[in-house]
């Protein structure tokens, strides 16, 4: 298993930059690299404002990517987080702190060469990579089990792990059978002969 790249979401997925990753030690799960790339506001993100009197106020970005104020809607989708905080500070001068919570659906997606491409909820308990593939009714005969990718969004970046599920199915290198997190996407590519 290896991390093959980290994609910055700063410019959407167009014009993405890649960064190098720390080495992976055999038999250990891949490291989660701390990145400091800028985060841009997305639909359904939430700001939690702590006011001077100690009370809290929630401000949600709607599905379209804007905030609804008394004097009209303000488009915030794609706004850098510092600019978003400054906007909220102007609108809510009583705010002592402004914390931004990134929205992530509580589901995992499995795509590609599986019998049923699915979105499955994680509400029933923890799920690992092989559990998700099994929930998709397994691999098709054309699946390339050696190059399965796990895409994970983490603080404004997408980390891409390349997994060799063929080894996992054989009982080898079970460290690759990672515990899934909300929003993870598993893609199973086609095996070209």
pLDDT tens digits along 15-68? 333 334 444 444 445 544 443 446 778 777 889 999 999 999 999 888 788 898
The mean per-residue pLDDT over the stretch 92-118 comes to 87
**Topology given in CATH for the domain delimited by 2-37+104-188:** Outer membrane lipoprotein wza fold like (3.10.560)
- Six-digit token pair at 161? 């792990």
Confidence of residue 191 (pLDDT cuts 50, 70, 90): confident
Which residue from 12, 48, 52 is spatially nearest to 158, judged by alpha carbons? Answer: 12
Map out the domains of the chain as residue ranges: 2-37+104-188, 46-101
- What's the predicted TM-score (pTM) here? 0.52
């Amino acid at each position: 298993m290896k991390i093959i790249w980290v994609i910055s979401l700063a410019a959407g997925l167009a014009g993405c930059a890649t960064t190098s990753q720390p080495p992976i030690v055999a038999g250990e799960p891949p490291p989660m690299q701390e990145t400091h790339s800028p985060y841009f506001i997305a639909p359904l993100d939430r700001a939690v404002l702590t006011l001077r009197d100690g009370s809290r106020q929630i401000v949600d970005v709607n599905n379209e990517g804007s905030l609804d104020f008394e004097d009209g809607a303000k488009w915030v989708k794609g706004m850098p987080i510092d600019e978003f905080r400054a906007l909220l500070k102007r609108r809510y001068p009583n705010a002592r702190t402004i914390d931004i919570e990134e929205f992530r659906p509580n589901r995992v997606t499995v795509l590609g060469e599986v019998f049923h491409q699915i979105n499955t909820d994680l509400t029933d308990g923890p799920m690992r990579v092989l559990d998700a593939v099994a929930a998709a009714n397994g691999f098709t005969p054309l699946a390339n089990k050696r190059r399965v990718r796990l895409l994970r969004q983490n603080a404004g970046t997408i980390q891409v792990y390349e997994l060799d599920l063929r080894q996992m199915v054989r009982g080898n290198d079970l460290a690759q059978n990672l515990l899934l997190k909300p929003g993870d996407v598993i893609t199973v590519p086609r095996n070209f002969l």
